[in-house]
Structure 1
Amino acid sequence: MGTSIGRSDADFNASQELITTKALANSARWKLIDSWILEILLPAKAEWEEAWKAYQNRKTRNSNIISAKNQARKKYEPVLRTLVATLTGDPLVTDTDLNSMGITGRNKKGGHIPAPATYPETEVKLPAPAKVELHFRDNGETGHAKPHGVRGAEIRWAILDTPPTDWDELLHSEFDTQSPFTLIFKGGERAKTVYFALRWENTTGEKGPWAEIQSAIIP
């Protein structure tokens, strides 16, 4: 995969601006993950742009400003390349879209994005009668950003009289790109037990391992 991300700082700045401007403008259409954008991409972008702006002033430039610029790029460039890899593997992003951002050499098989290796952990909240919210994040993480290349979570669930022994017993299947996922039940289903499990799915449709089956009493 080739990109227009240049080696010089000036070229790097120009290409990051081109890529992020297009990606942010089309984030809803391309179903980019809001939490990753807000928690990872935008802070790294802002830090770089502030450091780069300070570096442009030759009268005030000093070793601290140069170091801050270098550290900001060191932090931001891997994030930018993660965005490029995600866009390249997303079937919603056309070759024309990629070319307009200077991204070329698409891998048609999307092999550069691996199948998810982790699973979501889920916190259950019961905000109202007959309503169950599943707040999910990557296992072991505290933030809501999903793993690299992950588009969202598959949620399987079922109301059962006895605990299931296999995920195949969860007959209902849903998909959500952003936490939380909300289940709304009928009044006659209150006080019954709903069982559910989640797994990640990447932008090429490959699925990760299932989390353990959990349950909740419908309020």
Structure 2
Amino acid sequence: MADSIGRKDVDFNASQELITTAALLNSARWKLIDSWILEVLLPAKSKWEEAWKAYQNRKTRNSNITSAKNQARKKYEPILRTLVATLTADPLVTDTDLNSMGIVGRHKSGAPIPVPTTYPKTEIKLPAPAKIELHFRDNGETGHAKPHGVRGAEIRWAILETPPTDWDELQHSEFDTQSPFTLTFKGGERAKTVYFALRWENTTGEKGPWAEIQSAVIP
């Protein structure tokens, strides 16, 4: 199946502009969640566009600018794919709407994408001060391949004084399509305890069960 989002950066930028412009214009008609648009989509979009603009200037381009561009895309692309999955699954969005955004149409036949039934197993690594890496794979598997139909993992986390008793207490939400996921903290947060949990999400936006909440002391 063809990808709805361009692989090359220049194609990715064109895809994101086409998709987000239509989504913002039709957010009321498609009943998109305003808070998600304002707090998640638009900030990531803005950071990408700022980094991409800086990268376009070959005279000033350097390794830091290139790294910033790559990191901005890594943050933004999973969010954009969440939007694509939401639009594709939304009956209020027609096939004509999808085609106008360059989004590959819905499957008309074949087996449906299954809802995830397993959860990610996470290995914690401490690569540097104020950084934690979460290396995740399917529970019970030795390889890093995701389950069939899964596009990535939702990561919920929070720095707390006491252990949480429910996943809802993990206030921050991130998404990553490929292990590892890196959490970067401020210097003043070192030696504090961060709690986190992961769950799979399939290509239509359906989520699997949460893994158990884990913790690590920020190095």
TM-score relative to the length of structure 2? 0.54
Residue in structure 2 matched with residue 194 of structure 1 by the alignment: 194
For structure 2, the 5+ residue unaligned runs are 16-83, 90-97
Q: For 1:186 and 1:105, how far apart are their aligned partners in 2?
A: 44
- TM-superposed deviation, 1:105: 5.7
Q: For 1:115 and 1:191, how far apart are their aligned partners in 2?
A: 38
Structure 2 CA distance for partners of 1:105 and 1:149, relative to 1, 3 Å: closer
**Secondary structure in 2 matching 1:198:** strand
Letter in 2 for 1:161: E
Q: For 2:204 and 2:145, how far apart are their aligned partners in 1?
A: 18
How do residues 34-53 of structure 1 correspond to structure 2 at under 5 angstroms?
A: none
Letter in 2 for 1:181: F
Letter in 2 for 1:145: A
Residue in structure 1 matched with residue 67 of structure 2 by the alignment: none
Residue in structure 1 matched with residue 108 of structure 2 by the alignment: 106
Cα offsets for 1:13-70 (capped at 9, x unmatched): xxxxxx6xx66x966769xxxxxxxxxxxxxxxxxxxxxxxxxxxxxxxxxxxxxxxx
Higher relative contact order (CA 8 A, sep 6+): 1
Moved over 3 A (4+): 25-30, 89-92, 94-99
Residue in structure 2 matched with residue 169 of structure 1 by the alignment: 169
Structure 2 CA distance for partners of 1:158 and 1:115, relative to 1, 3 Å: same
Residue in structure 2 matched with residue 39 of structure 1 by the alignment: none
Letter in 2 for 1:186: K
Residue in structure 1 matched with residue 138 of structure 2 by the alignment: 138
Structure 2 CA distance for partners of 1:27 and 1:116, relative to 1, 3 Å: farther
Q: For 2:139 and 2:123, how far apart are their aligned partners in 1?
A: 11
Q: For 2:192 and 2:107, how far apart are their aligned partners in 1?
A: 52
Structure 2 CA distance for partners of 1:117 and 1:191, relative to 1, 3 Å: same
How do residues 16-165 of structure 1 correspond to structure 2 at under 5 angstroms?
A: 91=88, 106=108, 112-165=112-165
Q: Which has the larger radius of gyration?
A: 1
For structure 1, the 5+ residue unaligned runs are 1-18, 31-88
Q: For 1:26 and 1:162, how far apart are their aligned partners in 2?
A: 43
- TM-superposed deviation, 1:106: 2.0
Q: For 2:156 and 2:107, how far apart are their aligned partners in 1?
A: 36
Structure 2 CA distance for partners of 1:111 and 1:167, relative to 1, 3 Å: farther
TM-score relative to the length of structure 1? 0.54
Q: How high is the sequence identity, in percent, across the aligned residues?
A: 74
Cα offsets for 1:175-207 (capped at 9, x unmatched): 000000000000000000000000000000000
- TM-superposed deviation, 1:174: 0.4
Q: For 2:186 and 2:173, how far apart are their aligned partners in 1?
A: 18
What is the RMSD computed on CA atoms of the aligned residues?
A: 3.2
Residue in structure 1 matched with residue 180 of structure 2 by the alignment: 180
Q: For 1:163 and 1:194, how far apart are their aligned partners in 2?
A: 9
Residue in structure 2 matched with residue 204 of structure 1 by the alignment: 204
Structure 2 CA distance for partners of 1:216 and 1:149, relative to 1, 3 Å: same
What is the number of equivalent residue pairs in this alignment? Answer: 135
Structure 2 CA distance for partners of 1:156 and 1:105, relative to 1, 3 Å: closer
